[in-house]
């Protein structure tokens, strides 16, 4: 890494814990010395390293070797033939971050970068504002790194996500408000206390961790960029960073093929980015979030402008889906591929289905769906929508009677 740079005016800043340009209040981003990296990073070098996101460490923002989350990433890329058939597309892949280590979501990627950098900068307390997954990851990775943690979440989150932060001994603070309100409060707390807030003052480093998902997709496809990469959008950061990862790999000569489209997925009613994209606007109107997809419940997306720009430049469409379509997406992925995703994954599958049906993703193409979190964390959203187990006594006769009655009703149906 060379410096921090304002994404708006290009002014450079030293590599400290800061996130905002003092001249136009724009967000800061890490810049790298790509000429130097080009000489050092080859496919063979990467392939010789252990299978974690840190095999691309030259492209991730730590000064020295990483110290937190060394096993994060390199999750499976699954060829999803059964789901491809159901969605009506020639070829489909699932980037399966439901099994990311250690907290079962893509957030482990950003947190391992943010905490490694926080340790380099001398912080002993880390914190975040979160819709759930980030809180889980900060809590777990801070525990294993011996750091103190504070996580701030909307108080109405799914029980699974609350327990998944508490168990690590984190200080969990539930805020009576939605995520954008939690975020506002955290900006004030971050200004007052000297903590490393992963998505506030550590944001330039934190956000770069998402790029590892894109590097892995390209490597796992045989050093090839996908034609379409469908990404769920909350703040819009992941989408912009996946596209950045593809650009970097191209710049470094590590991949063949040209950049494909990066369509974005949101939930209807909390979809400021997809609404703006379909209306052809380059700005969004903030909304009050209200959705079962709580991990995507951000009404004022910080990277919304950049996500719109990326979709426009790559020819990526956007769409949004209802809560029922989210549940259908969760079931489709589970029934076709044996992968249980949280609501954000249901959004991605549901939007992919719509984009394929409308021809915005041509059925003769190949697409990757980014599935970012595990369904065990959002059981509340799907409970009561996947049927009930049939109960019988431990008797073979009862079992056979049950089968017979089900066969009869199946025939008559």
Give 358-361's long-range contacts (Cβ < 8 A, gap of 24+).
358/319, 360/263, 360/317, 360/319, 361/89, 361/228, 361/230, 361/261, 361/263, 361/317
**Residues numbered 267-306 forming contacts with another protein, rule: CB under 8 A:** 283, 285-286, 288, 298, 300-303, 305
How do beta strands 91-96 and 264-267 pair? unpaired
With binding defined as CB under 8 A, does residue 321 bind another protein? no
- Identify whether the C-beta of residue 140 lies closer than 8 Å to the C-beta of residue 103: yes
Q: Which two tokens stand for residue 410?
A: 């199946």
Residue whose tokens read 């999803």: 80
Shortest Cβ distance from residue 24 to another protein (Å)? Answer: 6
**Shorter beta-carbon distance to another protein: residue 3 or 37:** 3
**Shorter beta-carbon distance to another protein: residue 303 or 325:** 303
**Shorter beta-carbon distance to another protein: residue 206 or 340:** 206
Candidate segments 20-28, 326-334, 347-355, 396-404, binder of another protein by CB under 8 A: 20-28
The contact pattern for another protein, residues 219-258, with x = CB under 8 A and - = no contact, is: ---------------xxxx---------------------
Q: Which residues contact 281 (CB under 8 A, 6 or more apart)?
A: 308
Q: Which of 3, 11, 18, 171 binds another protein (CB under 8 A)?
A: 18
**Residues numbered 73-112 forming contacts with another protein, rule: CB under 8 A:** 107
Q: In this structure, what are the phi and psi dihedrals at residue 305, rounded to the nearest 5 degrees?
A: -65, -45
Shortest Cβ distance from residue 170 to another protein (Å)? Answer: 14
Rounded Cα distance, 112 and 114, in Å = 6
**Shorter beta-carbon distance to another protein: residue 230 or 234:** 234
**Residues numbered 129-158 forming contacts with another protein, rule: CB under 8 A:** 129-131, 133-135
**Residues numbered 160-199 forming contacts with another protein, rule: CB under 8 A:** 177, 179-181, 183-184, 186-188, 190-192, 199
What does 120-186 look like in DSSP terms, one character per residue?
Answer: HTT-SEEEEE-SSHHHHHHHHHHHHHT-EEEEEEETT--HHHHHHHHTTT-EEEEESS-HHHHHHHH
User: What helix, strand, coil percent values describe the chain, rounded to 5?
Assistant: 45, 15, 40
Q: Which residues contact 82 (CB under 8 A, 6 or more apart)?
A: 336, 337
**Shorter beta-carbon distance to another protein: residue 226 or 264:** 264
**Shorter beta-carbon distance to another protein: residue 98 or 133:** 133
Binding residues vs another protein (CB under 8 A) = 8, 18-20, 22-27, 107, 128-131, 133-135, 177, 179-181, 183-184, 186-188, 190-192, 199-200, 203, 206-207, 234-237, 283, 285-286, 288, 298, 300-303, 305
């Amino acid at each position: 890494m060379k410096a921090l740079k304002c994404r708006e005016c290009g002014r450079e800043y030293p590599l400290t814990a800061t996130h905002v340009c003092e001249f136009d209040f724009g967000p800061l981003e890490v810049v790298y010395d790509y000429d130097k990296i080009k000489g050092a990073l080859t496919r063979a070098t990467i392939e010789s390293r252990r299978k974690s996101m840190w095999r691309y460490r030259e492209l991730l923002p730590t000064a020295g070797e990483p110290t937190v989350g060394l096993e994060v990433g390199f999750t499976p890329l699954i060829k999803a033939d059964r789901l491809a058939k159901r969605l009506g597309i020639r070829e489909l892949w699932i980037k399966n971050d439901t099994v990311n280590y250690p907290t079962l979501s893509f957030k482990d990627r950003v947190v391992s970068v943010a905490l490694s950098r926080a340790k380099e900068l001398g912080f002993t307390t880390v914190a975040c504002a979160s819709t759930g997954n980030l809180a889980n990851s900060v809590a777990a990775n801070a525990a294993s790194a011996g750091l103190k943690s504070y996580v701030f979440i909307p108080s109405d989150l799914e029980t699974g996500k609350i327990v998944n932060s508490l168990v690590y001994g984190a200080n969990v603070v539930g805020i009576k408000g939605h995520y954008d309100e939690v975020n506002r409060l955290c900006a004030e707390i971050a200004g007052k206390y000297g903590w490393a807030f992963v998505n506030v003052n550590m944001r330039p480093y934190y956000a770069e961790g998402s790029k590892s998902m894109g590097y892995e997709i390209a490597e796992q496809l045989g050093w090839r960029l996908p034609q379409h990469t469908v990404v769920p959008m909350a703040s819009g950061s992941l989408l912009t960073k996946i596209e950045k990862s593809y650009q970097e790999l191209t710049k470094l000569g590590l991949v063949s093929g040209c950049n494909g489209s990066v369509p974005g997925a949101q939930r209807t009613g909390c979809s400021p980015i997809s609404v703006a994209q379909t209306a052809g606007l380059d700005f969004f109107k903030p909304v009050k979030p209200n959705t079962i997809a709580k991990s995507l419940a951000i009404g004022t997306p910080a990277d919304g402008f950049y996500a719109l720009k990326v979709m426009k430049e790559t020819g990526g469409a956007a769409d949004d889906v209802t809560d029922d379509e989210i549940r259908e997406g969760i079931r489709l992925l589970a029934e076709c591929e044996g992968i249980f995703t949280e609501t954000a994954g249901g959004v991605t599958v549901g939007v992919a289905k719509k984009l394929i049906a409308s021809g915005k993703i041509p059925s003769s193409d190949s697409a990757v769906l980014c599935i970012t979190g595990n369904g065990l964390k959002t059981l509340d959203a799907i409970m009561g929508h996947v049927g009930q187990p049939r109960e019988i006594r431990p008797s073979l006769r009862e079992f056979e009677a049950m089968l017979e009655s089900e066969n009869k009703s199946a025939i008559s149906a």
